[in-house]
Amino acid sequence: MITLASDFGSPYPAAMRGVVCSRTDARIEDIAHDFPRQDVRAAAFWLREVVPYFPPATHCVVVDPGVGTDRGAVVVEAGGHRLVAPDNGVVVPTARRLADGEKFAVWDLAYDDEALASSTFHGRDLFAPAAATVHDVEAVEDLERCSPTDEWVDLTFPEPDLGEAGATGEVLVVDDFGNAVTNVPGRVLNGRDAVTVDDQRVPVRDAYAERPAGDRLVTVGSHGNVELAVNQGRGDDAFGVEVGDAVDLAW
Amino acid sequence: MITLASDFGSPYPAAMRGVVCSRTDARIEDIAHDFPRQDVRAAAFWLREVVPYFPPATHCVVVDPGVGTDRGAVVVEAGGHRLVAPDNGVVVPTARRLADGEKFAVWDLAYDDEALASSTFHGRDLFAPAAATVHDVEAVEDLERCSPTDEWVDLTFPEPDLGEAGATGEVLVVDDFGNAVTNVPGRVLNGRDAVTVDDQRVPVRDAYAERPAGDRLVTVGSHGNVELAVNQGRGDDAFGVEVGDAVDLAW
Amino acid sequence: MITLASDFGSPYPAAMRGVVCSRTDARIEDIAHDFPRQDVRAAAFWLREVVPYFPPATHCVVVDPGVGTDRGAVVVEAGGHRLVAPDNGVVVPTARRLADGEKFAVWDLAYDDEALASSTFHGRDLFAPAAATVHDVEAVEDLERCSPTDEWVDLTFPEPDLGEAGATGEVLVVDDFGNAVTNVPGRVLNGRDAVTVDDQRVPVRDAYAERPAGDRLVTVGSHGNVELAVNQGRGDDAFGVEVGDAVDLAW
């Protein structure tokens, strides 16, 4: 199985799909093609939350603001999965999650920029064909163009500041429902009925519907992090936050 | 075959897809993941219009404003199809349509809320795994966690008021083209060349393009209901209606 | 393999998918369902850029402002691919590209408007079932309802005006990134470091990221045409252009 993920919107992913179908009979499943545009960190977050639910597969990921520059391309193997992506860290948190504390392997994927059909669409011209090849090969090290490397671009999420009296974190992503997902681990809410967010007490609840429609709550999202939410409404609007904003929680 | 339908937008459905792929080799097809957010009735309408075109399959439907509360989960069997969904009525009109006047079977799908990985994403943690199981089992009654029930949440669409001089109905949904789909059956337009909508005569036509671009018409949509439309424009804007609004038609 | 492409948004394409699944075991891949609404030329452009990357397949295309009128339906065979679409030119540029200078074959696909379930959704009632049939048949000429024809609606893109001192073209489409794709062939930029667009010098670059974030550039897109772009921004906004606008480039 090959999965495809990008920030391409439509219809560019169809060209990637065509390229993959032309080269392998592998089943294709989409992860998403509407990751926030050119936001490597947001894509890295969502991939880490979604990819581990798949059975071992080759995941072709293209969120690539550096397309056409000298940024490299990588193949990563972790937990039985293979990831093919630009070397900008976008698949690193996923690899760490899949490796589950073990080491994961990274190869530099060599390519000749001049030989590609375009300098603006490596999803179609570099990553999709590479993913088909990586999927079909027995072992990644059998590919001549793949060289083991320790020189890859890392990506980590900011650490929250956890204290006795509260926690300070950051909004990592906002989902389509408007839930503002922070980097604060959900366990800090254990046993609490409410927390103070920006000087206002807000109920802590397990489910959105435990609050009246339109009312704010703080909850633990499906990713295990603290989430600022509104039942049947948008948490980002109600809390006045967007990606990258600091979030102060006081007990 | 397993189909997936939700109001999750992106990328949450990919986690459901991963869960299904991890548990069964069944082919997966998407129905839609952009149903109007938490609008159970709208999803129920669209599912009724779309699901019957599929060959017998297991349909996993998650439009679930009550996620994490004590609302139940159901498995429904009708016309050779199986439906797995929250017990909020979202699949009931589809089941009725599939059953075509016959009875359909409903099982309560038992689950342990405490044992699920999240209280906010039952699509991933409850319904997707259940759909894989329901798909693969010979008979639903073979599943220990499924108990036949007559106590399920019903959902019906409002009945229009059909008279000699006209009809009064309601806008059930607005599609992506802006066509306002009512609950008035299309047969009331038989033989009519125009009807009065809100004191204005509007032509009745079989095809959008039978009117100049930008002009209003009343037509019978692909679902068989009366639709307020504009050729190459948005009917909801031109008629000033939205979901839930009353629509008065006079002959 | 059957691919589906339309301007239907959601959830109408699911009905087409169901119809296809009911009639054939062919694998289904989506090309796109969010082509600019009822914009036959834009869809024709994108299809020409995407379809050739697929292995030989049957492509069901429905961008169909004339649905329900007396416009015809066609089956086209070119380069081992089959295309099923309304006779409005939407698949003609694709057929020309696939045929690569050779002739391509066109059949009129007969249908009985009165016998269809709707006059507004031929994607579901005419084209999807026809695509399943066309996919499964050995030779298109074996289908009784297909008659060879030379009377089909053509569609060509406007020719740019290429001169010694510059080029005048037109914006054909704007992609989801905001890149304004013109009809001017990319080769005119060979060896140039900048061009004048509307009296302003704009750098010519191979990659978006060769400019600071937010800065304008002129580049050759993945389709081989001149593109007005902004690194990590929208070219259409920055250059003040939309589909159909003239673009003057001076060397």
If you count them, how many residues does chain B have?
251
Of A113-122, B185-194, C10-19, C151-160, the one with minimum mean pLDDT is A113-122
Going by the DSSP 8-state scheme, the letter that residue A160 receives in this structure is P
**CA C66/CA B196 separation, integer angstroms:** 25
Mean of all residue pLDDT scores within chain A: 96
With a cut of 0.90, is the ipTM above it? yes
Supply the CATH classification number for the domain A161-250: 2.40.30.90
Query: How close A125 comes to chain B (CA, Å)?
Result: 25
The pair phi, psi for residue A140, each rounded to 5°, is -60, -35
CATH class for domain B2-148? alpha beta
Please state the rounded mean pLDDT for residues B66-75.
Answer: 93
Q: How confident is the model over C100-125, as a mean pLDDT?
A: 94
Are A207 and B19 a contacting pair at CB < 8 A?
no
pLDDT tens readout for residues B160-219: 999 999 999 999 999 999 999 999 999 999 999 999 998 899 999 999 999 999 999 999
Q: How far apart are CA C230 and CA C215, in angstroms?
A: 5
* In chain B, domain spans: 2-148, 161-250
Instruction: Please give the Cα distance from B168 to C174 (Å, whole number).
Output: 43
Task: Report residue A159 as tokens.
Answer: 């650490």
Q: Inform me whether the pLDDT recorded for A169 exceeds 90.
A: yes
User: Which residue does chain C place closest to B222, by CA atoms?
Assistant: C118
Bridging pattern class, strands C105-109 and C73-78: antiparallel
Two tokens, residue A156: 């980590």
pLDDT score for B134:
98
Question: What is the mean predicted confidence (pLDDT) over B53-57?
Answer: 98
Yes or no, beta carbons of C125 and B222 under 8 Å apart: yes
Which chain A residues have a beta carbon less than 8 Å from that of B119? 206-207, 219-220
Mean pLDDT of all residues in chain C?
Answer: 96
Asked whether residue B82 carries a pLDDT value surpassing 90, the answer given is: yes
Look at residue A90 in the predicted model and tell me its pLDDT.
98
pLDDT of residue A114: 87
Chain C nearest-CA residue for A118: C222
For the segment B87-99, what is each residue's pLDDT rounded down to a tens digit?
999 999 999 999 9
pLDDT in tens, C23-39: 999 999 999 999 999 99
Express each pLDDT in C131-153 by its tens digit: 999 999 999 999 999 999 999 99
Task: Determine the average pLDDT of the residues in B56-63.
Answer: 98
**Over the stretch A205-249, which tens digit does the pLDDT of each residue have?**
999 999 999 999 999 999 999 999 999 999 999 999 999 999 999
Tell me whether residues B119 and A206 touch, CB distance under 8 A: yes
Q: Which of C4, C7, C10, C37 to mutate to test the interface with B (most CBs of B within 10 A)?
A: C10
Tell me the percentage of chain A whose pLDDT exceeds 70. Answer: 100
Per-residue pLDDT tens digits for A101-111? 999 999 999 99
Say if CB B224 and CB C120 are below 8 A apart. no
Q: Is the dihedral of CA B12, B16, B18, B19 positive or negative?
A: positive
Q: Which residue of C has its CA nearest to A113?
A: C206
What is the tens place of the pLDDT at every residue in B19-35?
999 999 999 999 999 99
Residue A198 has what pLDDT?
A: 83
pLDDT tens readout for residues B121-160: 999 999 999 999 999 999 999 999 999 999 999 999 999 9
| B7 phi and psi angles, rounded to 5 deg | -110, 30
**pLDDT tens by residue, A45-104:** 999 999 999 999 999 999 999 998 899 999 999 999 999 999 999 999 999 999 999 999
- In this prediction, residue C85 carries a pLDDT of 98
Give the Cβ contact number of residue B112 at 10 Å: 8
Indicate if A161-250 has the same CATH topology as A2-148: no
Q: Which pLDDT belongs to residue C126?
A: 97
Percent of chain A's residues with pLDDT above 90: 95
Token pair recorded at residue B42: 């709208």
Strands annotated E in B57-179: 58-62, 73-78, 81-86, 105-109, 146-148, 161-162, 166-174
**Single-letter amino acid, residue C195:** V
pLDDT tens digits for range C39-56 = 999 999 999 999 999 999
Sign for the pseudo-dihedral over CA of A66, A67, A71, A75:
positive
Query: With 90 as the cut, is the pLDDT of residue C199 above it?
Result: no
Q: Give the end-to-end CA distance of chain A in Å, rounded to a whole number.
A: 46
Give residue ranges of A with CB < 8 Å to any B CB.
Answer: 1, 3, 5, 29-35, 46, 49-55, 57, 175-177, 206-210, 219-222, 224, 227, 232
Contacts of A215 (CB under 8 A, 6+ apart): A203, A230, A231
Q: Chains touching chain C at 3 or more Cβ pairs under 8 angstroms?
A: A, B
Write a three-state SS string for B200-251: EEEEECCCHHHCCCCCEEEEECCCCEEEEEECCECHHHHHCCCCCCEEEEEC
Residue of B nearest to A206 (CA): B119
Pick from A54, A175, A209: CB nearest B65: A209
Q: Average pLDDT, stretch C15-28?
A: 98
User: Does residue B114 carry a pLDDT above 90?
Assistant: no
pLDDT attached to residue C198? 83
Interface test with chain A among C49, C60, C176, by most A beta carbons within 10 Å:
C176
